[in-house]
Amino acid sequence: MYVYDEFDSAFLAQRVAEFRGQVGRRLDGALTEEEFKPLRLMNGVYLQLHAYMLRVCIPYGTLSAAQLRRLAFVARRYDRGYGHFTTRQNIQYNWIKLSELPDAMAALAEVGIHGIQTSGNCIRNTTTDPFAGATPDEIEDPRLYAEIIRQWSTLHPEFTYLPRKFKIAITASKHDRAAVRVHDVGLRLHRRDGKTGFEVMVGGGLGRSPYIGKTIREFLPEEDLLSYLEAILRTYNLGGRRDNIYKARIKIQVHELGVEAFAKKVEDEWAQIRDGALRLDADAIDAVRGHFVSPDFDTLEDRPAALVAALADPAFARWHENAVEPHKVPGHAIVTLSLKPVGGPPGDATADQMDVIADLADQHAYGEIRVAHEQNLILPHVRQKDLPALWAKLKAIGVATTNVGLVTDIISCPGLDYCSLANTRSIPIAQRITERFADDARIKDIGRLHVNISGCINACGHHHVGHIGILGVEKKDQEFFQIMLGGKANAKARLGEILGPAIPESEIVDVVERLVETYLELRTSPGETFIAAVQRLGIEPFKERAYAPR
Amino acid sequence: MTSPLQKKLKIHGPTVVTANRLADGVVVWLTAAGGWSQSLAEASVVHTPEEVQHLLDVAHQDENTAVGAYMATVGVDAAGVPHPATMREKIRVAGPTIAMPGVS
Amino acid sequence: MPLVKDGAPIVDPYVKVEDDAALPDGPVLVSAARLAAEGEAVFAGNRPVGVAWPNDRDVAELAPHLPRLSLVALAFPKFRDGRAYSQARLLRERLGFTGELRATGDVLFDQLLMMTRAGFTAFEVKKAADAAAFGGALASYSIFYQPAADGRTTVREARAAAAAPAPVRVAAKG
């Protein structure tokens, strides 16, 4: 983990003090709402349907046990005892009072967490692979670069009032678990001639005009990372559209200029600054690396006797097959904790669950927790011999549902139950799908299938890149849902195709089930996944059956 | 913000003005007395665009108490008591339609 | 609108001159259009000349005039429109402008530090209370993560200094 030093801590304290002053000036009327709103947003504070919402940044998805306990404390003390983990590796509290926010933020800052730049038209927190530092398939730990970007982008004096929000994601492994092609800037770390660098993609994003990011540079040496980002941001800040909020993202600038012309502007700008103060020499990178403390891994063997014995239990074996992934260090494993219980709101965790998970991280996983963009938690460094004991404890708090990566591991935005922008609810749809597919043998047979639900066109539920994407639309105060088929968010990201007319709320779960049944019927073998079948067959056979009269 | 140049409001039946209270975000409705109530039953229910505009003007003057004011159509029962007419407003009155985690 | 320059309130010595009006004696502020149209002529006489430069026009166009310009006024039509931050840095860091760089328009307390970091040295502050509290706005942070136009010590530099035996200076002067 990155350990904040006295500079970072002093900075956070100054940020809390500044926000306390801003809240005070708003409450006494010195600041108008129009003046205050961008300031609160840049601290992660929204006004939603029922209350203020606080979005707390979990930098590149990494939490210590102490930080998770503090998140639990804030949930209990300032909210209603739970939080919601989001697709951007953040946590949201739904019931915060503005007058208490500075105290809540001070409590978080004490353990090095905050809501800075989790909203607003600025550079948002950089997201990355939740398996970073643990997975055997990574080239290097991408969090090092995410942290370098965090520092550069924090309160950047030039890029805090951009045309629109700006999201950066990094992956460093061949399995892209960070959806880098649907970000304003996506970075794919790779090596060339022994040097570390990045493929740079720009202009991806979902929302009402979804685009897949385009590569503007195949290999950017690591020392040039910040100067190149500064060149991209400057090109965007000066040239991005500000006349229409729906056309203000960088993806529209890239689209309107054309990717070659955009890339040329960036390269021209970069040529002027690449040798300047942002250059990251080896010492600068090592200095940040030095703040990352890696667990002191025990010397252990793979598949210890305790694990092998436990695998005789089919229930444990099923969980192990579903939720446990290989680790780069022998005798260890990566464990995903499903926050998608049957009938539960996707991504929610209670303060009690957070406390237990923090304790389990301390006991079995070197005190580290991750947040995945699929809205699950991860213990990245579990001793394999501890897996049976861990499983029992995870089951006891309801986070061992064996649906990781399966049809009921649904990504969902909060929807109209909480969100002031939403057109329809999304959580109840997710809940009913999980109830319909509650049978474990059935979801196992269906196999890998991502269902993503958004309650409006802003696409916080990433419906465009779900294998089955569901978008809520409201017609005359009735909820309808448009289905997209065939999207995916991985290295070969693509957007789903609209299946047909929107479906009434009462029928949406039936239609999802029909799509799944169509797949089961038409797949060549159980080895052909849902997404592979859709790609082979096209959407027609699915469309036919989804809309067939019953 | 309203301006004199603004087009005449379109309303769809009995209308109230609602917002969220500045200090804690709680849902509130504008009352006939020009204050804010946490109960829709106490809201001022009006029936013409001019009356709605007046309520909105009053609300916008009071942005240091309640923010994000907008008009919402309501139903009115035989006794004249308003109830929310849209799903969004029903949820604002009654809270999320789902059970909250940890609450059984 | 109170003007704060180099941290202190001042009376604006510049007279804003309409495009078709004759240039008076003393410091003048002309439009970008007039500068473009009249070029050398606006610099005739020895008066200090400033230009009001819009935020949608490339500041590189100013390069030939900069040695003789004593003021560039950049615009924030809304405080949320941040183009002038980039223009300011380009003027300072690339074009080497050392004269007065003035923030005009929707200039509010909570953006004063960012503007300062981008290279602004003068501020047409919208609210009198904000002008009075100017020093407080600049003192709200002592930790800066990235280099900009103001030369404040960055965290990277401060960390390197802390690692070395020399005494640590965490923050630059406001």
pLDDT digits (tens, 9 = 90+) for A504-546: 999 999 999 999 999 999 999 999 999 999 999 999 999 999 9
Residue A95 CA to residue C135 CA, distance in Å, equals: 36
B66-76 and B15-21 as β-strands: parallel, antiparallel, unpaired? antiparallel
Residue A127 CA to residue A132 CA, distance in Å, equals: 11
Task: Quickly state the pLDDT bin for B6 (edges 50, 70, 90).
Answer: low
Residue A82 CA to residue A346 CA, distance in Å, equals: 12
Chain A residue whose CA is closest to C169: A7
Q: Which two tokens stand for residue A240?
A: 């991005």
Of the candidates A35, A39, A157, the beta carbon closest to that of C118 is on A157
Of the candidates C81, C89, C148, the beta carbon closest to that of A161 is on C81
Q: What is the pLDDT of residue C106?
A: 97
Which residues does chain A have within 8 Å of residue C82's beta carbon, measured at their own beta carbons? 158-162, 237
B102 touches chain A (CB under 8 A): yes
Task: Using the predicted structure, report yes or no on whether residue C129 has a pLDDT greater than 50.
Answer: yes
Residue A140 CA to residue A232 CA, distance in Å, equals: 24
**Please, which chains are in contact with C (at least 3 CB pairs closer than 8 A)?**
A
C173 touches chain A (CB under 8 A): no
Mean pLDDT of A118-142: 93
Q: What is the pLDDT of residue A490?
A: 80
Residue A358 CA to residue A379 CA, distance in Å, equals: 10
Phi-psi domain of C42 (left: phi exceeds 0; alpha: psi -120 through 50; beta: other)? alpha
Q: How close is the nearest chain C Cα to the Cα of A180, in Å? A: 24
Which residues does chain C have within 8 Å of residue A126's beta carbon, measured at their own beta carbons? none
Q: Do B25 and A98 touch (CB under 8 A)?
A: yes
Q: Residue A290: what are its φ and ψ, rounded to 5°?
A: -65, -20
Residue A205 CA to residue A459 CA, distance in Å, equals: 10
Residue C110 CA to residue A196 CA, distance in Å, equals: 39
B25 touches chain A (CB under 8 A): yes
Of the candidates A7, A157, A278, the beta carbon closest to that of C143 is on A7
Residue B29's H or E segment, with its range, is strand B27-30
Residue A412's H or E segment, with its range, is strand A411-412
Mean pLDDT of A322-348: 97
Task: Using the predicted structure, report yes or no on whether residue A320 has a pLDDT greater than 60.
Answer: yes
| Cβ neighbours of residue A36 closer than 8 Å, sequence gap 6 or more | A22, A25, A26
Residue A304 CA to residue A215 CA, distance in Å, equals: 44
Q: Do A49 and B92 touch (CB under 8 A)?
A: yes
Q: What is the pLDDT of residue B7?
A: 67
Q: Which two tokens stand for residue C17?
A: 């001159």
Q: What is the pLDDT of residue C172?
A: 43
Of the candidates B64, B68, B85, the beta carbon closest to that of A29 is on B64
Size of interface A-C (CB pairs under 8 A): 97
Task: Using the predicted structure, report yes or no on whether residue A345 has a pLDDT greater than 60.
Answer: yes
Q: What is the pLDDT of residue A511?
A: 97
**Please, which chains are in contact with A (at least 3 CB pairs closer than 8 A)?**
B, C
Which residues does chain B have within 8 Å of residue A427's beta carbon, measured at their own beta carbons? 96, 98
Task: State the DSSP string of B39-104.
Answer: -GGGBPPB-SHHHHHHHHHHHHHTTTTEEEEEEEEEEE-TTS-EEE-SHHHHHHHH--SSPPTT--
Of the candidates C147, C158, C160, the beta carbon closest to that of A277 is on C147
Are C60 and C72 in contact, with CB atoms under 8 Å apart? no
Mean pLDDT of B61-83: 96
Chain B residue whose CA is closest to A341: B101
Task: Using the predicted structure, report yes or no on whether residue B87 has a pLDDT greater than 80.
Answer: yes
Residue pointed to by tokens 């969090």: A143
Q: How close is the nearest chain C Cα to the Cα of A56, in Å? A: 20
Q: What is the pLDDT of residue C167?
A: 47
Share of chain A above pLDDT 70, in %: 100
A13 touches chain C (CB under 8 A): no
| Cβ neighbours of residue A424 closer than 8 Å, sequence gap 6 or more | A415, A416, A455, A456, A472, A473, A474, A479, A480, A481, A505
Q: Residue C25: what are its φ and ψ, rounded to 5°?
A: -70, 160
B94 touches chain A (CB under 8 A): no
Q: What is the pLDDT of residues A194-245, one digit of tens each?
A: 999 999 999 999 988 999 999 999 999 999 999 999 999 999 999 999 999 9
Q: Residue A343: what are its φ and ψ, rounded to 5°?
A: 85, 0
Q: What is the pLDDT of residues C132-148, one digit of tens each?
A: 999 999 999 999 999 99
Residue A144 CA to residue A194 CA, distance in Å, equals: 18
Q: Do B64 and A349 touch (CB under 8 A)?
A: no
Residue A120 CA to residue A166 CA, distance in Å, equals: 9
| CA-derived radius of gyration, chain B | 14
Which residues does chain B have within 8 Å of residue A477's beta carbon, measured at their own beta carbons? 85-87
Q: What is the pLDDT of residues C38-81, one digit of tens each?
A: 988 899 888 999 999 999 999 999 999 999 999 999 999 999 99
Residue pointed to by tokens 């989001």: A86
Q: Do A35 and C110 touch (CB under 8 A)?
A: yes
Closest by CA to A279, choosing from B18, C18, B57, C147, is: C147
Q: Do A81 and B25 touch (CB under 8 A)?
A: no
Mutate to test the interface with A, among B24, B27, B70, B74 (most CBs of A within 10 A): B24
- Range in A34-43, A165-174, A487-496, C42-51 the model is least confident about: A487-496
Residue A445 CA to residue A457 CA, distance in Å, equals: 32
Q: What is the pLDDT of residues A272-318, one digit of tens each?
A: 999 999 999 999 999 999 999 889 999 999 999 999 999 999 999 99
| Residue type at position C92 | R
Which residues does chain C have within 8 Å of residue A11's beta carbon, measured at their own beta carbons? 141, 143, 145, 155
Q: Do C170 and A7 touch (CB under 8 A)?
A: yes
Residue C30 CA to residue C46 CA, distance in Å, equals: 15
Q: What is the pLDDT of residues C79-120, one digit of tens each?
A: 999 999 999 999 999 999 999 999 999 999 999 999 999 999
Q: What is the pLDDT of residue B8?
A: 76
Q: How close is the nearest chain B Cα to the Cα of A109, in Å? A: 22
Residue A229 CA to residue A362 CA, distance in Å, equals: 37
Beta-ladder partners of B75? B83
Are A438 and A480 in contact, with CB atoms under 8 Å apart? no
Return contacts of B79-83, CB within 8 angstroms, 24+ apart.
B80/B45, B81/B41, B82/B14, B82/B16, B82/B40, B82/B41, B82/B43, B82/B45, B83/B40
Which residues does chain A have within 8 Å of residue B91's beta carbon, measured at their own beta carbons? 49, 416-417, 425
Q: What is the pLDDT of residue C165?
A: 61
Closest by CA to A294, choosing from A332, A323, A325, is: A332
Confidence (pTM): 0.94
Residue A401 CA to residue A409 CA, distance in Å, equals: 9
Residue A41 CA to residue A120 CA, distance in Å, equals: 5
Mean pLDDT of A258-266: 98
Q: What is the largest CA-CA distance in chain B?
A: 51
Closest by CA to A211, choosing from A33, A459, A414, is: A459
Q: What is the largest CA-CA distance in chain C?
A: 62
Size of interface A-B (CB pairs under 8 A): 80
> Which residues of chain A approach chain B closer than 8 Å at the C-beta?
26-27, 29, 32-33, 47-52, 80-82, 96-99, 344-345, 348-352, 416-418, 420, 425, 427-428, 431, 474, 477, 479
Closest by CA to A147, choosing from A340, A308, A309, A4, is: A4
Are A217 and A185 in contact, with CB atoms under 8 Å apart? no
Q: Do B95 and A50 touch (CB under 8 A)?
A: yes
Q: What is the pLDDT of residue A10?
A: 97
Chain A residue whose CA is closest to C113: A157
C89 touches chain A (CB under 8 A): yes
User: What are the strands of the beta sheet with C8-10, ordered from one edge?
Assistant: C8-10, C3-5, C122-124, C100-105, C69-76, C49-53, C28-31, C15-16
Q: What is the pLDDT of residue B103?
A: 61
- Window 273-292 of A, Cβ < 8 Å to C: 276-278, 283-284, 287
C101 touches chain A (CB under 8 A): no
Closest by CA to A226, choosing from A159, A164, A178, A294, is: A159
Are A52 and A45 in contact, with CB atoms under 8 Å apart? yes
Q: Which two tokens stand for residue C55?
A: 């935020």
Mutate to test the interface with A, among C83, C92, C117, C140 (most CBs of A within 10 A): C83
Residue A426 CA to residue A86 CA, distance in Å, equals: 14
Q: For residue A211, what are the CA distances in angstroms to A244, A415, A473, A494?
A: 18, 23, 21, 9
Task: Using the predicted structure, report yes or no on whether residue C7 has a pLDDT greater than 80.
Answer: yes
